Structure 1
Amino acid sequence: MAVAFAISIIAVQAQQARTITPFDTNWKFSKGDANNAEQVSFSDAQWRTLDVPHDWSIEGPYDRGNPTGRGGGYLPAGIGWYRKIFTLEEADAKKLVFIEFDGVMANSEVWINGYHLGKRPNGYISFQYELTGHLNFGKGKTNILAVKADNSIQPSSRWYTGSGIYRHVRLITTGNIHVIYGGSYVTTSDITPGKATVHIQTTVTSELTGKQQNATIQTSITAPDGKTVASTETPQKIAGDANTAIAQQLNVTNPVLWDLDAPQLYKVVTKIIVDKKVVDEITTPFGIRTAVFEAATGFWLNGKNLKIKGVCLHHDGGAVGAAVPLSVWKRRFQLLKEAGVNGIRTSHAEESPEFLTLCDQMGLLVMDETFDTWEVKKSSAENGYNLNFKNWWEKDTRDIVMRDRNHPSVVIYSVGNEIHDNLNDSSGFHKYKMQQDLIHSLDPTRPVTMALFRPAISHAYENGLAEMMDVVGQNYRENELIAAHEAKPERKVIGTENTHVLSQWLALRDKPYMSGQFLWTGFDYLGEADWPKVVNGQGLYDRTGTPRAVAFQRESWWSDKPMVYVMRREQNAGAGDWISDWTPTDIDTYDEARIQVFSNCDEVELFLNDKSQGVKPRTSDNASPRTWSFPYEKGTLKAVARNSGKVVAEQELKTAGKPAKVVLSVDKRAIENNWDDVAYITATITDENGIPCLTADNKITFNITGAGVIAAVDNGDLSSAEPFIAKERWAYKGRCIAIIKANANSGKITVTATADGLKDGTATVEVKQ
């Protein structure tokens, strides 16, 4: 029986039952293969000392001849070795010890003191090994953890993967009876304003072979405000050397829901008690919410019908490669939310655990995708997951779902992207169904889809495959998906990958049954580009976070906040790209300005040097940009947007003079001395009055003093093969960036940017405790 009170029924002895120790610092690293590097006697004295997460591929150099090719962005791959020496207290000898990796790229093998723990081909998978029985304890006794990451089998991916231990590592100790990896599963039901039922399933195992012990599973729920709101305990006999699943149920009164605007998170705290001692303890964050896909009306969150306005994201963070500090993702998510985005598709592999936690915390809906290929290869990735699917799909899928199923942000799984296996025969049906069935067995609360590729060719809409899918997903060709639903209205449908064009937005907006769409892509990503390009440039934002025109167009469609954004054709009389400035390259020949304005407001009035160029209401489709054409005059172009006659948004563009100085801006004024925290320094070349000079391409050098280092530099040029780990970068469209980290616990970081013939720019960042 569930009891709602804050004090446990059983008084337990205070002790630290489970310890989680970050294991990121002081690794030795060597690029290239090394015979016997797993052995304790091997000397790594000449190896480089570094901290992980670490991606050695991003260090370059770029080379058109690199075997990664267009998919891997022409960056290097190969074999890398990591070794870490560590000690353990004598008291730990009575505990179980595990090592947990969030991701190693790729084909990782792990040894402890020369003992081979295992291999994982898939570089995106989080995994755990038990070290118990292979360790040395006590003063003066050391242990050697060795990791081989082999990314040499190329081409392995249609996009950049990175190489090495590129995500976090941690050491875990527990008692002999403990919760298994991924063994805490929390779901909710019967949600009303007054009450919600919380179901907790805890899977426990015992290392005491042949013995059965009496244990108590003590569980409490902590509300978002930190108060304990319910608790219960269950006596349980734990069999030796076997898994035991314990089901518990608690009621939460007056629940606060996890929602997009208020992503409230609860926590389940589970303690395993034996003889009044806590032998293991884990905390599981979760959210109380309902998420439902309906055939006729699309997606519903907490009883509210809404469209999933999503983007696809790859796992790289631009200049930092695959080893992405969490604050990089936070900055990106903030930019995407400002444009009206509320969903993320993890294309086409597992993101890091903290990526999903951040989606939980920031209120983003997630399509959690597993694989890009099954058994049939794809171009530019002939040696990809297709080599491993047959032997590893079940283990990988199981680990993915058990790791991710408590995240309230995850609302749907996808088991494949544009799969090239034959989906018009029984083998294709079986491959899909075996994955969907496994996911349902591990997490029956969420639907499964896949991103169908040209279903008119695979006949997925006629041969019965679509009927097997919980939600039918299709990449592009929205009219086919619309026709598939209207032919069989019982089908639930979602756009799994979409372009930025107006017609595809209208297909979502105007069809109630369309659950959502995911744009390709939210941010530019490394790879999938033809030389001399090294970056795929289809993002709403480039890899530095600079928005493209499509970002403002999307904001005008997806955001509720009043906005206005002015663009002109770069060249005379409507030629060239759309840009947002008022400084033609050749003013003398630029006589006819073609203008488009993105806005979600009732009317927009355009002024050139304070002279009105006319007022334009919303277009007939309530989505197309408003356009003007008039003779060019240098000076000031101003757009004024109004709702019900009231000015709610404005933008000005001014003609720039000659480049005169470098101006630095910072995305935040304080950072912590933490691997996951960085600050972005943006260098903009302006004239004397501070007006950006978007045609300037000076080389900018960054110098740093104080309590920090330059982690990377970058610009938005798709064809730039400059090194990221450097102190200088050519400006592209008048801008480049430096990413900085703290290297002390307090102090000030000062960054100065210099360029020949321009005044220096300076910015400061505080390091906070």
Structure 2
Amino acid sequence: MKRMSFNDSWECRPKVNLFAEVSGTTPYRPVSLPHDAMLGRQRTPDGESAGAYFPGGAYEYRKTFQVAAEDEGKRILLEFEGVYRDAMVYVNDAYVTQRPYGYSQFRADIGPHLRYGESNQIRVEARTHQDSRWYTGAGIYRDTWLLVGGPVRIAPEGVRVTTLEYDEERAVVEVAVRVENDEPVLRTVRLGVEIAGADGSVEATGSAPVTVEPGSHAITRQRLYVRAPNLWSPARPALYTATVTVDDDDRDTEHTTFGIRVLNLDPTNGLRLNGNPVKLRGACVHHDNGPLGTATYARAEERRVELLKDAGFNAVRMSHHPMSKAMLRACDRLGMFVVDETFDMWTSGKTSFDYSLHFAEWWERDLEAMVAKDYNHPSVIMYSIGNEIPEIATPSGAVWGRRLAEKIRALDPTRYVTNGINTLLAVMADLAAMEQNQDVQQVGEDSTGINTFMADPAAGVDAINTSELVTRKTEESFALLDVAGMNYAEARYDFDRKLFPDRVILGTETLPSHIHRIWSLVKEHGHVIGDFTWTGWDYLGEAGIGRPQYRAGDESQESFMAAYPHLTADCGDIDIIGLRRPASYYREIVFGLRTHPYVAVRRPQHHGKTYTGTPWAWSDAISSWTWPGFEDAPVTVEVYGAGDEAELFVNGRSQGRRRLESFRTEFEVLYSAGELLAVTYRGDVESGRHTVRTAGAPDRLRAESDRAVIAATSGDLAFVSLTLTDANGICHPGADRPVHLDVTGDGVLAGFGSARPSTDERFDTPDHQTYEGRALAILRPTGPGEICLQASAPNCTTAVVKVVVKEGL
């Protein structure tokens, strides 16, 4: 089918009651898709911390468009890649379709409701309220497409490419095509297939007739042979394109990108790609893009994958819903494994109005939508059927798990099935009953009881996770999977090697501070195929779960989530504007990917206080030696390294050597402006060094675009980093100030913000305060030409950056 972008010329407003409009009409405002309707709402302390204190609400979009008279009689569909949530679609005031789940792609057959040769209006409603545990955004937040096809055509996502066999000489590739026939007569057409390499060279061709019954469809399969195939892998993400053509009056053509690769899995060798063992260095990520909210621009998704890969990750788990098409394409091109996930809940809800209210009716259609979207993407290696499902340890939960797993296997037998099971959550009801029963002091057959768990949570969690209770109640739910996904249950890794010798395990969600211990287990055990940290990229919502917390004296610890105006989870190797945090460099060292050390300094204002952060928190250290006002004050310096020892120098004076334990050590020193140097050693041989220097007066504002030239398409963006520096270009993190932007030319400001975790500032204005000396402006092109951004801040030079916008890139 002919595919055309449908993103332009929309309008949006908060949905109003029809009777309320009697007293006055609520105006629409023009928007371009993708669009997050929630991001422009005012946050309030009355909101939910899970949703970053944004209010819920209902929204409606409308668009007027023309359909040519000659298109009458054709199949016309409107494709939505994602609408959050409870979408309702109307054309010319007639109801067409709906979709409760906010993360599923769906299509509306609008042809019967159109006025051909005249103006038409489409209206889409969306609503969200207490239905998630994170910031969801709202509205039509992913791309939309208008699909037009003749009576005989290739179905949308009707081309599926599968590698059946491969060796060095050739790969056997099956191309299966679904051909549809709307005509009232039998039709026979010829279907041609061409496979081309990345350079455009034709590698294989095929052709065959296919007869389709009236008002029905037919599946045709052709086996093609690609000589000397280039195999897809993270190191060399080779891609091919299959072009499928129906030789008919309308000559329908579809292009599908795919990769040739083969997966193997067993408890001895673990996961193998093309015969080579692979360990997954994984990042869990949510779907928001920081200052853009949940608006899913292709370039923003690509940039996230680029930065995650640069930080040492080779796999992404989309948490906890299906991944966007744009991110899948980026993972294919850049070489990133994907674990795509279905749902955060099944029949047992986690929030008052979540998807559990619709699950029983819609789960099958939503699974089908995810697999159809993912099938041709070589980056996708595994499907997850859920995350921390409360009912997973019950017979009913096992029945549902088997139902979902078998449905996925029927749709796609080429990938593996997992489930992010939180074993502690699975037996929470049993633990609560034990706690109430004072005669019960044991968990199953273990001697560690609830009282021990409360006194020593870490030891208590490990004891419960390896208890007979957990083993017995989760056995069936793990057994129905190809890969046992475990959230925060690394204590079972070695335990299950003996108890369940055929069980393959994946750490689907783990604590960032445990990576040194977890990664040693991953490397040691063949049946443990990788680890996914919570989380790879900071996100909006779950406000403050990873914030560093301190108390002095008898002050009580704060609550698990932070009060308004906290905005982000403050948890992630990379912050919401794309900057790596100290935990990221530590992880890179643990992975064995970084030879040089990394030095970071804890904020001196908290020195001497007791640290009380959650298990998801890192310390508040940053890689800076600029602490005005704290001269001669004591500070704690953290050094991460892969050697045996680390030596610290302050302004050339050694502060001694300390042994590196678990890839890190600490020094207590007095702050003195100048230079901080960390040197690591293996034996007596230097293995690396890292230096940070004190910044001078922050009298400069530097603006740098990630790319000088971008494409004149709605999915492309320019990311402009803004940094407060001294004359030598050193960032000054301790003198934040407001920045004002002026954007002119052929583009607009799509978002502007910083990584400040607690703020009442907005992302949709041209004014924002820097955080630790940095901010990020995001520019969206409106046509070919040039975008000019001018940034100004008090007592700083004005920064100017220009971005060229070209067509045809």
TM-score of the two chains, using structure 1 as the length reference: 0.90
Q: 2:81 aligns with which of 82, 102, 117?
A: 102
Which residue pairs with 2:517 in the alignment?
Answer: 503
Change in 2 beyond 3 A, CA 1:663/1:146: same
Contact residue 754 and residue 761 of structure 1 kept, 8 A = no
Q: 2:233 aligns with which of 247, 251, 259?
A: 259
What is the CA–CA distance in structure 1 between the aligned matches of 2:568 and 2:51, rounded to whole Å?
A: 9
What per-residue deviation string (whole Å, max 9, x for no partner) do you get for residues 654-690 of structure 1?
A: 1233443323333222323332222222222233443
What is the CA–CA distance in structure 1 between the aligned matches of 2:779 and 2:254, rounded to whole Å?
A: 34
Q: 2:401 aligns with which of 420, 432, 449?
A: 432
Q: 1:234 aligns with which of 186, 190, 208?
A: 208
Q: How many angstroms does 1:518 deviate by? A: 0.9
1:521 aligns with 2:535: yes
Q: 2:496 aligns with which of 473, 477, 484?
A: 484
Residue aligned with 2:145, SS:
strand
Q: How many angstroms does 1:45 deviate by? A: 11
What is the CA–CA distance in structure 2 between the aligned matches of 1:299 and 1:615, rounded to whole Å?
A: 40
Q: How many angstroms does 1:135 deviate by? A: 2.3
Residue aligned with 2:408, SS:
helix
Q: 1:560 aligns with which of 589, 593, 599?
A: 593
Residue aligned with 2:512, SS:
coil
1:270 aligns with 2:244: yes
Residue aligned with 1:296, SS:
coil
Which residue pairs with 2:433 in the alignment?
Answer: none
Residue aligned with 2:166, SS:
coil
Which residue pairs with 1:743 in the alignment?
Answer: 782
Residue aligned with 1:71, SS:
helix
Which residue pairs with 1:20 in the alignment?
Answer: 3
Moved more, 479-488 or 538-547: 479-488
Change in 2 beyond 3 A, CA 1:763/1:493: same
What is the CA–CA distance in structure 2 between the aligned matches of 1:45 and 1:228, rounded to whole Å?
A: 56
Which residue pairs with 2:563 in the alignment?
Answer: 531
What is the CA–CA distance in structure 2 between the aligned matches of 1:748 and 1:272, rounded to whole Å?
A: 42
Q: How many angstroms does 1:559 deviate by? A: 5.5
Moved more, 54-63 or 526-535: 526-535
1:145 aligns with 2:118: no
What per-residue deviation string (whole Å, max 9, x for no partner) do you get for residues 202-249 of structure 1?
A: 12221124x211122211211122111111122222011223221211
What per-residue deviation string (whole Å, max 9, x for no partner) do you get for residues 172-216 of structure 1?
A: 11121122233221110221111111012112221124x211122
Which residue pairs with 2:621 in the alignment?
Answer: 578
1:416 aligns with 2:386: yes
Contact residue 297 and residue 514 of structure 1 kept, 8 A = no
The one-letter amino acid of 2:417's match is V
Paired residues for 1:673-752 under 5 Å: 673-752=712-791
Q: 1:29 aligns with which of 12, 23, 26?
A: 12
Contact residue 256 and residue 376 of structure 2 kept, 8 A = yes
1:390 aligns with 2:360: yes
What is the CA–CA distance in structure 2 between the aligned matches of 1:735 and 1:663, rounded to whole Å?
A: 10
Which residue pairs with 2:801 in the alignment?
Answer: 763
Which residue pairs with 1:467 in the alignment?
Answer: 479
Change in 2 beyond 3 A, CA 1:383/1:46: closer
**Runs of 5+ consecutive residues of structure 2 not aligned to the other structure:** 429-468, 544-561, 610-618
Q: How many angstroms does 1:628 deviate by? A: 4.3
Q: How many angstroms does 1:588 deviate by? A: 3.4
The one-letter amino acid of 1:485's match is R
What is the CA–CA distance in structure 1 between the aligned matches of 2:243 and 2:702, rounded to whole Å?
A: 49
Q: How many angstroms does 1:365 deviate by? A: 0.4
Which residue pairs with 1:454 in the alignment?
Answer: 423
Identity of aligned residues (%): 31
Paired residues for 1:626-705 under 5 Å: 626-630=665-669, 632-639=671-678, 650-705=689-744
Which residue pairs with 2:91 in the alignment?
Answer: 112
Which residue pairs with 2:154 in the alignment?
Answer: 179
Q: 1:81 aligns with which of 40, 43, 60?
A: 60
Q: 2:38 aligns with which of 38, 52, 57?
A: 57
Moved more, 488-497 or 550-559: 550-559
Give the length in aligned residue pairs: 730
Contact residue 632 and residue 672 of structure 2 kept, 8 A = no
Change in 2 beyond 3 A, CA 1:136/1:581: same
Contact residue 174 and residue 279 of structure 1 kept, 8 A = no
What per-residue deviation string (whole Å, max 9, x for no partner) do you get for residues 75-134 of structure 1?
A: 133221112221122332242211111011111111222332111001111011222333
The one-letter amino acid of 1:436's match is A
Q: 1:548 aligns with which of 555, 572, 581?
A: 581
Q: How many angstroms does 1:744 deviate by? A: 3.6
What is the CA–CA distance in structure 2 between the aligned matches of 1:279 and 1:145, rounded to whole Å?
A: 29
Which residue pairs with 2:441 in the alignment?
Answer: none
Q: How many angstroms does 1:650 deviate by? A: 4.8
Residue aligned with 1:536, SS:
coil
Change in 2 beyond 3 A, CA 1:251/1:608: same
Which residue pairs with 2:555 in the alignment?
Answer: none
The one-letter amino acid of 2:224's match is L
What per-residue deviation string (whole Å, max 9, x for no partner) do you get for residues 282-322 of structure 1?
A: 11111000122221232111111121001111111011111
The one-letter amino acid of 2:581's match is R
What is the CA–CA distance in structure 1 between the aligned matches of 2:284 and 2:539, rounded to whole Å?
A: 11
Q: How many angstroms does 1:645 deviate by? A: 9.8
Contact residue 714 and residue 782 of structure 2 kept, 8 A = no
Which residue pairs with 2:257 in the alignment?
Answer: 285
Compute the RMSD of aligned alpha carbons: 2.6
The one-letter amino acid of 1:393's match is W
Change in 2 beyond 3 A, CA 1:574/1:559: farther
What is the CA–CA distance in structure 2 between the aligned matches of 1:506 and 1:452, rounded to whole Å?
A: 21
Paired residues for 1:296-311 under 5 Å: 296-311=268-283
What is the CA–CA distance in structure 2 between the aligned matches of 1:514 and 1:345, rounded to whole Å?
A: 16
1:206 aligns with 2:181: yes
What is the CA–CA distance in structure 2 between the aligned matches of 1:643 and 1:589, rounded to whole Å?
A: 32
Which residue pairs with 1:189 in the alignment?
Answer: 164
The one-letter amino acid of 1:767's match is V
The one-letter amino acid of 1:735's match is R
Change in 2 beyond 3 A, CA 1:174/1:644: farther
Change in 2 beyond 3 A, CA 1:749/1:602: farther
What is the CA–CA distance in structure 1 between the aligned matches of 2:218 and 2:679, rounded to whole Å?
A: 65
Q: How many angstroms does 1:257 deviate by? A: 0.6
Residue aligned with 1:30, SS:
strand
Change in 2 beyond 3 A, CA 1:692/1:148: same
Residue aligned with 2:427, SS:
helix
Q: How many angstroms does 1:332 deviate by? A: 1.9
The one-letter amino acid of 1:134's match is H
Moved more, 122-131 or 251-260: 122-131
Change in 2 beyond 3 A, CA 1:216/1:45: farther
Residue aligned with 2:244, SS:
strand
Residue aligned with 2:353, SS:
coil
Which residue pairs with 1:598 in the alignment?
Answer: 640
Residue aligned with 2:626, SS:
coil
The one-letter amino acid of 1:760's match is T
What is the CA–CA distance in structure 2 between the aligned matches of 1:36 and 1:472, rounded to whole Å?
A: 53
Contact residue 289 and residue 302 of structure 1 kept, 8 A = yes
What is the CA–CA distance in structure 2 between the aligned matches of 1:673 and 1:538, rounded to whole Å?
A: 34
What is the CA–CA distance in structure 2 between the aligned matches of 1:203 and 1:36, rounded to whole Å?
A: 47
What is the CA–CA distance in structure 1 between the aligned matches of 2:620 and 2:237, rounded to whole Å?
A: 39
What is the CA–CA distance in structure 2 between the aligned matches of 1:221 and 1:196, rounded to whole Å?
A: 12
What is the CA–CA distance in structure 1 between the aligned matches of 2:149 and 2:180, rounded to whole Å?
A: 11
Which residue pairs with 1:569 in the alignment?
Answer: 602
What per-residue deviation string (whole Å, max 9, x for no partner) do you get for residues 342-388 of structure 1?
A: 0000100112111111111110000010000001011xx22111111
**Runs of 5+ consecutive residues of structure 1 not aligned to the other structure:** 1-17, 38-42
